[in-house]
Structure 1
Amino acid sequence: MSDRRRAILEGAARVIARRGVRGLRVGELAAEAGVSTALIYYHFKDRTGILRHALAFIGDRADRYTGTAPGAGPGADTGTADADPRRLLERTLLLEFQDLPEVRENSTAWGELRAHAVFDPELREDLTAAGAAWVEEVAGLLGTLCPAAPAAAVTAAAERLTALLEGLSGRWLSGLAPLEHARELMRGAIGVEIGRLGSFASQID
């Protein structure tokens, strides 16, 4: 990705986090990114293109700071965590709760895009695909931990965990829940889902 294209997408994430999707204006984005409006249209064609690429950028950035991308991210515990599926699952989900500007901005922008998708069918398709990929990633980790569990149960558990994470993230970011409390609730939910899926092994025995 070119430096200017990255600057535009970083600027889009900042503007969306601050003002919401409806507050995203190409002129303001150009000023935020330090580029011309013509360059923005050259790279992304229209406002819908900006939103769709911003959504993908936010997802990729989350992969980096949660440690799911190669060479990622703050707090990554290489080696031990990678060898322990439960620790990797916890790290993947709990690193969404970090009191860092990048994480706050990313989570806020994701929430704004998710809310806007209610009114924007084109964005909804991209958001649905991104959400499905996230569920699939979490389901893969759960499936490794609980190989005897049926695929449908594993997917349902991943859906519950990712939905809870989004809700807790919104509460934390808006000040309704302290950071550590949100993390503890998430950690407890992970334990509950693993326990439920693990019960399938005893049924087989």
Structure 2
Amino acid sequence: MATDRRTAILEGAARVIARRGVRGLRMEELAAEAGVSTALIYYHFKDRAGVLRHTLDFISDRAERYTSDGDDSGEPHDARHELEQSLLLEFQDTPEVRENSTAWGELRASAIFEPELRGDLAGTTLDWIHYVAALLGRIQPTATAPSLTASAERLTGLLEGLSTRWLSGTLPLPHARELVKDAVSIEIQGLGLQRRATVRAQ
């Protein structure tokens, strides 16, 4: 029961942040959104900063879930397919994905003004970069670790920018997905060219 209420608070926080931004998050409104008392929020999360930190984790976990559940076939896929799908599934026109991506963007932007969020945000972003770099490493196993990390940083950074444009209505969804596919191809090709250049230099 306590877990259900805690989840309800985090779901409510994600909705409020997506709708009003981090600065618009008030404990009274969150309590009404989640159907709990403000005392219960403070019991679970201590203070507003605790709510924000745990909401960031909640949003990250939820994104990981829906970006890995896109294929129900049960068939094994190669690393390129897995990489493309994990990035493309960030662009689903569903309430959950829209809310999650919007809330993530709001939390990221608010870290400019709320330094206490920066460490948690950096850690979550780094986990994402490492995941993408690991998939790129399976595609181009001879690429160096710095090259893989740089490629992953470019891809995840591009994804965040494209997501903001899509959510704001300035970029059509199909075009956003095509740009992601093109970027994956370019990064994989670039890693392959680096490998061949290294071999020639030896």
- 1:57 maps to 2:51: no
1:76 Cα deviation after fit: 2.1
CA distance 1:158–1:50, change in 2 (3 Å): same
C-alpha distance in 2 between matches for 1:47 and 1:200: 47
| 1:154 aligned partner | 148
| 2:46 aligned partner | 45
Q: Deviations over 1:9-48 (max 9, x none)?
A: 0000000000000000000000000000000000000000
- 1:136 maps to 2:130: yes
Report percent identity of matched pairs: 66
Q: Which runs of 5+ in 1 are unaligned?
A: 68-72
Contact 1:148–1:200 (CA<8 Å) still a contact in 2? no
Match of 1:158, SS? helix
Letter in 2 for 1:59: S
| 1:17 aligned partner | 18
C-alpha distance in 2 between matches for 1:23 and 1:48: 13
Letter in 2 for 1:202: R
- 1:178 maps to 2:179: no
1:198 Cα deviation after fit: 1.4
1:79 Cα deviation after fit: 3.8
| 1:70 aligned partner | none
| 1:76 aligned partner | 71
Match of 1:66, SS? helix
Q: Which of 175, 180, 186 lines up with 1:192 in the alignment?
A: 186
| 2:101 aligned partner | 107
1:77 Cα deviation after fit: 4.4
Q: Which runs of 5+ in 2 are unaligned?
A: none
TM-score by length of 1: 0.94
Match of 2:85, SS? helix
C-alpha distance in 2 between matches for 1:110 and 1:117: 11
| 2:34 aligned partner | 33
C-alpha distance in 1 between matches for 2:109 and 2:196: 41
C-alpha distance in 1 between matches for 2:88 and 2:105: 17
C-alpha distance in 1 between matches for 2:67 and 2:193: 28
Contact 1:66–1:76 (CA<8 Å) still a contact in 2? no
- 1:121 maps to 2:115: yes
1:150 Cα deviation after fit: 0.9
Letter in 2 for 1:138: V
TM-score by length of 2: 0.95
- 1:90 maps to 2:84: yes
1:78 Cα deviation after fit: 4.7
How many correspondences in the alignment?
A: 198
1:199 Cα deviation after fit: 1.7
Q: Deviations over 1:30-77 (max 9, x none)?
A: 00000000000000000000000000000000000000xxxxx2x224
* Structure 1 runs of 4+ with >3 Å offset: 77-80
Match of 1:2, SS? helix
